[in-house]
A and B are shown apart, each in its own frame.
Chain A
Amino acid sequence: MAQVSMTVNGKAVSGEVEGRTLLVQFLRDQLRLTGTHVGCDTGQCGACVVHVDGEAVKACNMFAGEADGAEVTTIEGMANADGSLGTIQQAFQDHHGLQCGFCTPGMVMSAAALLKDNPNPSEAEIREYLEGNICRCTGYHNIVKAIQAASDAQ
């Protein structure tokens, strides 16, 4: 077991982890931040995407120990300070960009990373960027619309 410390959603946290403990397990099981989801075991689905030091990362593809000292943002850290939905979250609600909600945290985190790098993406660029996030409910149609709307709103 080893001690890890990191900042998650602006709050300093630490815990004991095994070498094999994944970042997503540390977030979900120890910090009880269950908004980050596990939808596969091959790094394909993207339900676990979080931001580590500002970059979108699949939290199932990273050991908790590797995030020692990092700044981590999860879906729980994406709302506005007053608790209202952030711009991207609001666009997902306005444009029905989610149905069952399971892939949604990863989608929102990926969308945020995309818009940071490319504030005005084309539809094709959005679709290509989302290659690593699988949604089974929406057919992506309204996710793309939501991200375009968030881009316009920003």
Chain B
Amino acid sequence: MPRRRTQTLQLLMALGLALFPFFAGDYWLHTGIICLFYIMMASSWNLLAGYTGQVSFAHAAFAGVGAYVSGLAAIHFHLPPLLGALLGMAVAAFLGLLLGVLCIRMGGIYLSLTTLAFSEMLRIIIDNEYEFTRGTMGLSVPFILPVYSKTTAYFLMGAVTVAVLCVIRSIVRSDLGTAFRAVQNDETAAASLGIHVVKVRLAAFVISSTMAGLAGALYGHYHQLITPEILSLNLMFFVLAIAVIGGMGTFVGPIVGAIFLEFLSEYIRIYGQFHVLLFGLIALAVCRFAPQGLMGLWQRRMRALSS
């Protein structure tokens, strides 16, 4: 795509994003904020899974870490939510580093299993330590801003999402991003060229977990209620399905996937519990017939048109 057109498109999207609250009702504003959360989650998971080929099942767990740390800090130490979010992010980064050091050397299936175990252990702890975490009842936490305003919350979430996306984009385009892809393509060859495979993978894991921690903390303070649902495999499934359906290993894929799924789920809400099933079936169909996701289909179409 010509550069000019890309820029125009970006400008239009930014404008649409900025004007959205002024014509969207309260309900759609809420949907928009949730969508921003999923964009952050799926994009950061994609940085790990799509660019370095490591499927982590702890991404939702790291969002939970961010949310609970920030929420508990706000309740017990009266830390302002925005500072709390930074703290939550830092703790997620630290845990990500610890877990990464433990399991990244083995990679592949082992990484998936270890992250799954970590995620479930965390959930069990939060369920059981209800005196501290309120268990499945959920933890009531202060709103993200001193004054309740959905519009301001939307702009805050939007700004953070844009910042996160910018960081991801610059990483993908940097030498580190090239190293990510080299490691995903062929780690033996990458190592033979002087790439420290374990460090590169660890970097991806920690960066991705940190972003999840930030997204989770903001999400928790927006909802004002944090439940163990945030680190459930269900949320993990949504994040994964968004990235898969949008197109893993592409920058735009998770964004498209999040918007697609969030708005689709609004339209099929009348079918209630059907919607997870439907997402699942769509994701399966995409895996089977279009492994590159919607972005892959789009690119193929563009190529067909131009030739």
A binds B: no
Chain B interface (Cβ < 8 Å from any Cβ of A): none
Chain A interface (Cβ < 8 Å from any Cβ of B): none
